[in-house]
Amino acid sequence: MEIPLFIVQPGVFVVLGVATTMAVVGRRTHELSRQVQASEELARAREEEAMKGRALAAALQAESAGNGPPSHHARMSRALFGDLIGESNDSDAATT
């Protein structure tokens, strides 16, 4: 007994469609996962750079604390990051 092609054909197309969709979704999922991992690595690197910048700014502010008028670099670090060492200098406010 032969099964007519028009009965089998829709099932074959459904199976092929599902297989194709699964392959595309799997490939896209892998690509997105790779992009997320790269973005997270970049964010960590930028976070480390930001921490180093804040540490440098705090060092510049601490270096000029109590030694007369603040240096140009100390004033710039305060303007960019605020008072990082908790010692506000009134002469600094007058010069900025």
Look at residue 63 and tell me if it is in a domain: yes
pLDDT: which is higher, 80 or 4: 80
Look at residue 78 and tell me if it is in a domain: yes
**Separation of alpha carbons 57 and 85, rounded Å:** 9
Look at residue 56 and tell me if it is in a domain: yes
Residues 6+ apart with CB under 8 A from 87: 61, 65, 66
The angle subtended at Cα 62 by Cα 51 and Cα 77, nearest 5°, is: 55
Look at residue 17 and tell me if it is in a domain: no
Look at residue 33 and tell me if it is in a domain: no
Look at residue 19 and tell me if it is in a domain: no
pTM above 0.75, yes or no: no
Q: How do residues 14-33 score in pLDDT, each as one tens digit? A: 999 999 999 999 999 999 99
Domain count, the chain: 1
Look at residue 4 and tell me if it is in a domain: no
C-beta separation of 78 from 96 below 8 A: yes
Look at residue 66 and tell me if it is in a domain: yes
